A = this chain, B = another copy of it.
Amino acid sequence: MPAPLKFVGLDVGGTTMKAAVVDDAGKPSASVVMDTHPERGQEAGLETMCETIRRAVAAAKLKMADIAAVGVATPGLMDIAAGLILDPPNLKPWKNVPVRDHIAQAFGKPTAFENDANAAAYGEFWVGAGQEATSLVMFTLGTGVGGGIILGDTIVEGEHSHGGELGHLRIDLPDRGRLCGCGARGCLEAYASASAVTARAREELAAWRGPTKLKAYYTANDDELTAKVVFDLALAGDECATKVMDDTAYFLALGACATIAAVDPEMIVIGGGMTAAGEPFRAKIEEYIRRFGLPHPVKKVKVVFAKLGSDAGFIGAAGCARRLLRQQERREEIPVPG
C-alpha cells in the first residue's frame, strides 16, 4: 500500500507568508512563517515562497520527493486561470508575477494557485467548519472583509478572478452608505471590517447618553480602541459596545442574506478575529439572517464560525493542490473518443 499523499500549502500575505505540509486527510504538520518583504521585489518574493515551501517540507521531516503537489494562495488582484499575481495593493511593487509557473518549475510538481480568501473558504469546506457541507459561503472579518464561495466541487473564482468579493456586497444605497476603501459607498466592508467597527464605535460613543466603559477610549487612537476592545466590552455587558457588536452582526447578516438569495448555500461560515466574541455574536448573526433573509432557505441555512483560524489559508491551498491532482487523474481516466 503506497504512503498517503502529502501536499504543501503556502499562504502569502502582505507581511508574512506561512506554509505547512498537509496530509491527504487535511492534517497539517508544523507550519513555518517567513517575512514577505514585498519591497524587496518580486524575484526575491518568489524565492522566499520557494524557501518557505522547502522549510515546511523540512519541518515535516520529509523530502520534496514525498510531496505530491503544491498549492499557493495569494491576495488579489490576480489572474487565477493564468497563475499570476497582478498588482495587489499590499504586495507593492509586485506586478504580473507568474507565481504558479515559477513554483511548478522550481519543484517539478503540479501546482494549484488560488485567491487567499477562496483558499481559506476551501480549507473550511474540506476539513473545517464545512466538512460535512456540500456548499458554503465564508466571510472573513479582518482588516477588510474577505469572502469565498464553494458550491460542491466548484470554487467560485469568477470570470475575472473576483468571485466571492463579499466585502463589496453593497448593503446600503450608493448615495447614502458608508464610504469604503474601494471608493464606493455602502460596501459591507465599510460596516464590518475591524476599522469600520471602531469607526462605528466612535460614532456611537459620541452620541451615547448612558454610562459606557467605551468613554475611557474617547480620545484613544486606533491602536487602543480596537474591534477587540469593543467586542470584549460588549461581552462584559457594556450597552454601547453591545449595540456596536449587534449592528456588526446585523450588517454582516445583510451581506449573508445577499449570498443566500444568489447562491443559497447550505452554510454561512464566519471567520476572523471578531469571532473570538463567541456564541453571543454568532447567535446575533444567525438571528438577523433568519429575520431578514429569504424565508425558505433561511429556515435551513446553517450559521457557524470557522474552525481553522489563520491556518485556513495554507490548509485550503494544500486542499486545492489535492483537488488539482484529482482533477488531473480524472481527466486521464476518461477515454478519449475516437
What residues of chain A have their CB less than 8 Å away from a CB belonging to chain B? Answer: 77, 134-135, 149, 151-152, 154, 156-166, 168-174, 182-184, 254, 257-266, 292, 294-297, 300-301, 330, 333-335
Contacts and interface: CB of A to CB of B under 8 A. Distances in A.
A152 B151 CA distance: 12
Contacts of A294: 162, 165, 168, 182
A304 to B, nearest CB: 14
B163 A254 contact: no
A36 B130 CA distance: 42
A260 B257 CA distance: 15
B261 A263 contact: no
Contacts of A262: 149, 156, 163-166, 169, 258-259, 262-263
Contact of A134 (B149, B159, B169): B159
Contacts of A152: 154
A296 B160 contact: yes
Number of copies: 2
27 contacts: A134-B159, A135-B158, A149-B263, A152-B154, A154-B154, A157-B264, A158-B263, A159-B300, A160-B264, A160-B297, A161-B264, A162-B294, A162-B297, A163-B263, A164-B262, A164-B264, A169-B261, A170-B171, A170-B257, A170-B258, A170-B261, A174-B254, A258-B258, A262-B262, A262-B263, A263-B263, A333-B335
Q: Which of the listed residues A173, A183, A260, A261 has the most CB atoms from chain B within 10 Å of its own CB? A: A261
A117 to B, nearest CB: 12
A233 B310 CA distance: 57
How would you classify the secondary structure of chain A's contact residues: helix, strand, loop or mixed? Answer: loop
A89 to B, nearest CB: 12
A295 B182 contact: yes
A158 B300 CA distance: 12
Given A151-B154, A266-B159, A166 B261 contact: yes
Contacts of A170: 171, 254, 257-258, 261, 292
B169 A258 contact: yes
A105 to B, nearest CB: 28
A191 to B, nearest CB: 11
B264 A159 contact: yes
A158 B258 contact: no
Q: Which of the listed residues A149, A159, A294 has the most CB atoms from chain B within 10 Å of its own CB? A: A159
Contacts of A258: 169-170, 258, 262
Nearest to A185: B292
Q: Which of the listed residues A157, A171, A183 has the most CB atoms from chain B within 10 Å of its own CB? A: A171
Nearest to A300: B160
A12 to B, nearest CB: 20
Contacts of A134: 159
Given A169-B258, A295-B182, A264 B162 contact: yes
Nearest to A77: B296
A116 to B, nearest CB: 16
Contacts of A163: 262-264
Given A157-B264, A169-B258, A169-B261, 9 more contacts: A149-B262, A149-B263, A160-B297, A163-B262, A165-B264, A165-B294, A169-B262, A262-B263, A333-B334
